Amino acid sequence: MTDAHLLPYAITLRKNKHYTQSRQRLFSLLTTASVKGLLFLHIAWAYDNEGREEQAFDYYQRALSEPLSADDEFEATFGLACTARCLGKLSEAETLFKRLLARYPERSEIIPFYALCAMALNKASLASDLLLSLIINHPPTEAIAVYQKTLAGYWDSVAFRSST
């Protein structure tokens, strides 16, 4: 199998829950690949999918120290933030989530994980603000979408905004 085929094969292995074999393929590519950041990202995901957050954390950091596409940089930063939260590195996670929201405001998947981090930091008001903004900006059902304008009006009023 050529190097060009090993990366897609390693990704397929990870998606099929063959994490060790996936990492073996990815590690074998590190010596010759010019896309080390992408390889580190996939190694991090393989560890993360296996519940090995400490190792995943290290590889997310390694991925971010290498050149990445914009999408892969988002994925690596998001993975690092979520993993930091799981590891109890809450201040670091919060900083990463804030940076992600500022840089990628359209990526709504950030919000629930940021809210979980805020709750762990005893910032219930911030968590509530985040989740309410998620519901207003991305209504999950038609029943809520009907009230989107009304909710947004209340949301914008001073009475419903926290000072966080």
pLDDT for res 12: 92
Containing structural domain, residue 27: 3-108
pLDDT for res 6: 83
**CATH number for the domain that contains residue 71:** 1.25.40.10
Are 68 and 131 members of one domain? no
pLDDT for res 53: 96
pLDDT in tens, 136-156: 989 888 888 888 888 888 777
In a domain, 161, yes or no: yes
pLDDT for res 4: 63
In a domain, 41, yes or no: yes
pLDDT for res 161: 52
> For residue 52, how far is the Cα from the chain centroid?
16
pLDDT for res 3: 60
**Residues near 155 by beta carbon (within 8 Å), at least 6 away in sequence:** 132, 133, 136, 161
In a domain, 100, yes or no: yes
Low-confidence residues of the chain: pLDDT under 50: 1-2, 158-159, 163-164
User: Among the residues of 2-161, which ranges form H helices?
Assistant: 3-15, 19-29, 36-49, 53-64, 70-86, 90-103, 110-120, 124-137, 142-145, 148-156
pLDDT in tens, 109-143: 999 999 999 999 999 999 999 999 999 989 888 88
